[in-house]
Chains A and B, each alone.
Chain A
Amino acid sequence: MLESLGQAFSNFTNPVFIYVLLGGCLSGLLVGIIPAIGGLVGCTLLLAFIYGVPPEIGMGLLIAFASVTYTGGSITTILLSIPGTPVNAATLIDGFPMTRNGEGGRALGAALTSSGMGGIVGGLLTILAIPLVTPIVMSIKTSEMFLLVLLGLSFLAVLGRGSMVKGLISGMLGLLFSLIGFQAATGNPRFTFGSLYLMDGIDIVPVLLGLFAISELIELYLKGVSRISDTAPVKGFGQILEGVKDVFRHFWLWLRSTVIGYLIGVIPGVGGETAIFVAYGIAKQTSRNRDKFGKGCVEGVIAPEAANNSKESGALLTTLVLGIPGGALMAVILAGLLIVGVTPGPKMVGENLDLTLTLIMIIITSNLIGCLVALLASPWLVKVARIPMNALLPMVLIAVLTGAYVRGESLWNFAVLICLGILGFFMKKFGYSRPALALGFVLGSLAELYLMHAIQLHGRLFFLTPGSLTIIALIIILPLLPYIRKVTAPLYRRLFSKGGEEARGEVRS
């Protein structure tokens, strides 16, 4: 562990690495500030450009970018009441009222400090968690890895948004699409219809760009998103400094929210919004100023922002060591790992531990840089949000087309891009989970490889090992959770209601 930590630190002495880190941070901040574009589209675009670069550089750029988009998003959330990213929604509840009350700078200072520190502590928690999870991860067999992929899909489908069955349908579609091309073990072409393009399989980048970027662009254009007319002024750095001090005044609130965000982030499929709203809800319940929440209470800004950034470190740990992403953004990070030639799983705490530690240290450093830059430059950064959407749309489209083309330099990528874009648009319209399809596609080829290895090593009854049976039980129980709750709720109410003493066997004389 110490040797890997040393190797991870040594990456920070590489000037190219530092430039990439700074570039990722600054572009992540800017993209996070622009409403309706978001970190997901930005990260997906970056995928096209990390092919062929060393893993620490490629993933460094991606992770640095992803770590600070929510920090940038909180600026427009607080000053303009427009969440820069969906997970900034809880900050809006108290952040914008504070701006209306003339305390916009204070809210900004509190939000940026809370999120920056939350991200740093989240990274440190992940480093501490690695020795604890290593024995568990190392004991996972190949047969169980295949089932873990199915479990990850179940998590996304069941715990994510929308109908469970629809989520599973999305996941299965993704798995099927991933099988197009040469079979890895036998080298036989499948579902290619004789096409040379399909022999290599469908590329990840146009699929993800189509699903997330093109579908969002279609929706934006159809909605007719207009320009944001005015920016709220930030009255000097004195207010911002006051907000910074607020985080330390409410230190235990901040720490509790950070830990809550981290722990929820570790659970795959739950999603970022859950972490921030749980943190907000607990902050409100435990506050002495409960009735001020929703009217401009600084605690209502500190709690969700702390959870916002700390959850990413937790989600990254699960993504790296188990290959189960927490949501769409982590599915893109997972795709990035595969593009740079790194397979997630037990190796990430074994021979690739230095890369894992490098990525976590990037999260820590990015949050520090992002927080400082945002604190100093927020009154000017917010002007980026004033760029008319009609000017941004064509440039984002050109960037998406370029990104889709770059991988493989094939015009057929455009066909994939448009098809998946239209599919993604309708999936969103009908309530199907696009992250589940993305995850199925990203992990499909790995899943098949694990399945083949499992059959070769353990025979057709590979799923009868204790670990496999445990995972199968989870896969079966997870979709049944809503029904189990329905059945047990009346029993629970009966046992713990006022007249429940008899049911509990309590006898009173």
Chain B
Amino acid sequence: MNRHSNSIFLVLCLIIGLGFLLMSINLTQLEDKVAPILFSVILMILVLVELARELAAKGTLKVATGPVEKGPEDKGSVMAPRIVAIALWLGGPILGICLLGFHITIPLFILLFLTLHGTGWLKGVITALVTEAFFMIICEYGLRIHFYKGLILELWQ
């Protein structure tokens, strides 16, 4: 576990707590203030306790005695391209949905992802079409979900 990164995370939590506290103090009614002030003060105390423990820990990190949720290994520069890739694969479909809508983005994204990760074109096309059909039949017609058509199509219309 990277102690430096954990401290940054704690400082972020402290800023969040402080932000909520300052905004709560400015609220006019008592009923609006009580809960946020209480929770943000408790949060800030806890964060300061954890920060103090982090600073007091000498040398290597203290390992938690119970089983902890294990995150991925920190492999520095090896992970950087994968992080960029995951950012693109997460952000890409969202941007696509915003601009082109669900019905164009879903099959396009699946086709791109599968072909770029080693699956053949034909399998990619079939999977994309089957998934799109599933979403149209089950979600749009079955569950009557109105999928967003995309900014471009809406401007066009």
A residues contacting B by CB (< 8 A) are 49, 161-163, 165-166, 168-169, 172-173, 175-176, 179, 183, 185-186, 188, 190-191, 214, 217-219, 221-224, 273, 388, 390-391, 393-395, 397-398, 401-402, 405-406, 409, 411, 414, 418, 421, 425-426, 428-434, 447-448, 451-452, 455
In the complex, chain A residues whose CB is within 8 Å of the CB of B85: 221
Cβ A395 vs Cβ B31 within 8 A: no
Of the candidates B32, B97, B110, B119, the one whose C-beta lies within 8 Å of that of A186 is B32
- Asked whether A451 lies within 8 Å of B72 as measured between CB atoms, the reply is no
B109/A190 in contact, CB under 8 A: no
Min C-beta distance of B21 to chain A, whole Å: 10
Q: Are A221 and B67 in contact (CB under 8 A)?
A: no
Q: Which of A223, A401, A425, A451 contacts B35 (CB 8 A)?
A: A451
The reply to whether B71 and A430 form a contact with Cβ atoms under 8 Å apart is: yes
Query: Please, how many angstroms separate the alpha-carbon atoms of A162 and B117 in the complex?
Result: 35
B129 within 8 A of A: no
Residue in B86, B146, B147, B148 whose Cβ sees the most chain A Cβ within 10 Å:
B86
- Residues in A neighbouring B10, C-beta threshold 8 A: 169
Size range of the chain B interface in the assembly: 35 or more
- Contact flag A188-B27 (CB < 8 Å), given A172-B42, A219-B71, A429-B72: yes
In the bound complex, what is the Cα–Cα distance between A411 and B98 (angstroms)?
7
B 32-70 binary contact with A (CB < 8 Å = 1; else 0):
101110011011001101100100000000001011111
Report the 3 A-B pairs with minimum CB-CB distance, sorted nearest first: A429-B71, A172-B43, A394-B113
CB <8 Å contact, B43 and A162: no
B89 on the A face (CB < 8 A): yes
Interface pair A165/B39, CB less than 8 Å apart:
no
Shortest Cβ gap from B151 to chain A (Å):
9
- CB pair B89–A409 under 8 Å, yes or no, is no
- Tell me if B110 and A165 are in contact (CB < 8 A): no
Query: Beyond A162-B69, A418-B90, is A429–B1 a contact (Cβ under 8 Å)?
Result: yes
**Interface residues in chain B, defined as those with a beta carbon under 8 Å from any beta carbon in chain A:** 1, 5-6, 9-10, 13, 16-17, 20, 23-24, 27-29, 31-32, 34-36, 39-40, 42-43, 46-47, 49-50, 53, 64, 66-72, 79, 82-83, 85-86, 89-91, 93-94, 97-98, 102, 106, 109-110, 113-114, 117-119, 127, 131, 135, 139, 143, 145-148
B36 CB contacts on chain A under 8 angstroms: 176, 179, 190-191
Q: What residues of B have a CB within 8 angstroms of the CB of A49 in the complex?
A: 143
In the complex, are the beta carbons of B86 and A401 less than 8 A apart?
Answer: no
Q: B13 is contacted by which of A161, A169, A185 (Cβ under 8 Å)?
A: A169
Given A161-B67, A169-B47, A222-B83, 19 other A-B residues pairs in contact with their CB atoms under 8 A: A161-B66, A165-B46, A168-B42, A173-B43, A175-B39, A179-B39, A188-B27, A188-B29, A190-B27, A217-B90, A218-B90, A221-B85, A390-B117, A391-B119, A398-B110, A402-B145, A406-B139, A411-B148, A455-B34
Closest to A448 in B: B35
Contacts of B86 in A (CB 8 A): 218, 221-222
Task: Determine how close the nearest CB of chain B comes to the CB of A439; give it in whole angstroms.
Answer: 13
Q: Which residue of A has the minimal Cβ distance to B90?
A: A418
CB of A482 to closest CB in B, whole Å:
8
CB-based nearest B residue for A429: B71
User: Taking the nearest CB of chain A, how far is it from the CB of B8, in angstroms?
Assistant: 10
- Whether A409 pairs with B148 at a CB distance below 8 angstroms is yes
22 contacts between A and B (CB under 8 A): A162-B64, A169-B10, A169-B47, A172-B42, A172-B43, A173-B16, A176-B17, A176-B39, A190-B32, A390-B119, A391-B114, A391-B127, A397-B93, A401-B97, A402-B139, A405-B148, A406-B145, A414-B94, A429-B1, A431-B68, A433-B69, A455-B34
Report the bound CA distance from A169 to B118 in whole Å: 42
Question: Do A214 and B90 have beta carbons less than 8 Å apart?
Answer: yes
Q: Is the CB of B50 within 8 A of A165?
A: yes
How far, in whole Å, are A405 and B102 apart by their CA atoms in the complex?
Answer: 10
Chain A residues in 8 Å Cβ range of B109: 394, 398
* Whole-angstrom CA separation of A186 from B32 in the bound complex: 7
Inter-chain contacts of B145 with A (CB < 8 A):
402, 406
Contacts known (A161-B69, A162-B66, A169-B13); A221 close to B82, Cβ less than 8 A? yes
From DSSP, what is the main secondary structure of chain A's interface residues?
helix
Residues of A within 8 A of B13 (CB): 169, 173
Bound CA span A265–B64, Å: 24
A191 lies within 8 A of B23 (CB): yes
Given known contacts A165-B53, A429-B71, is B90 in contact with A395 (CB within 8 Å)? no
Query: Contacting B110 at CB < 8 Å: which of A183, A273, A395, A432?
Result: A395
- CB neighbours (8 Å) of B32 from chain A are 183, 186, 188, 190
> Chain B residues with Cβ under 8 A from A395's Cβ?
110, 131
Q: Check if A176 sits within 8 Å of B68, measured CB to CB.
A: no
A176-B36, A185-B31 as given contacts; A222 in contact with B79, CB under 8 Å: yes
A405 to B98, CA, bound (A): 11
User: Quick one: given A176-B16, A176-B36, are A428 and B139 in contact (CB under 8 Å)?
Assistant: no
The smallest beta-carbon distance between A89 and chain B, in angstroms, is 10
Q: How many angstroms between the C-alpha atoms of A188 and B109 in the bound complex?
A: 42
Q: Which residue of A lies closest to B33 (CB)?
A: A190
CB distance from B65 to the nearest CB of A (A): 8
Q: Closest Cβ of chain B: how far from A414's Cβ, in Å?
A: 5
Closest to B138 in A: A49
Closest to B79 in A: A222
* Smallest CB gap from B3: residue in A: A430
Contacts of A176 in B (CB 8 A): 16-17, 20, 36, 39-40, 43
Shortest beta-carbon distance, A167 to chain B, in Å? 10
Residue of B29, B68, B70, B127 most packed against chain A (CB within 10 A): B68
* Contact partners of A451 in chain B: CB under 8 A: 34-35
Which residues does chain A contribute within 8 Å of B17, judged by CB atoms? 172, 176
Chain A residue at minimal CB-CB distance from B63: A431
In the complex, what residues of A have CB within 8 A of residue B97's CB?
401, 405, 411, 414
Query: Is the CB–CB distance between A447 and B110 below 8 Å?
Result: no
Give Cα distance in the complex from A367 to B110, angstroms. Answer: 35
Residues of A within 8 A of B79 (CB): 222
A163, A217, A223, A433, most chain B CB atoms within 10 A: A163
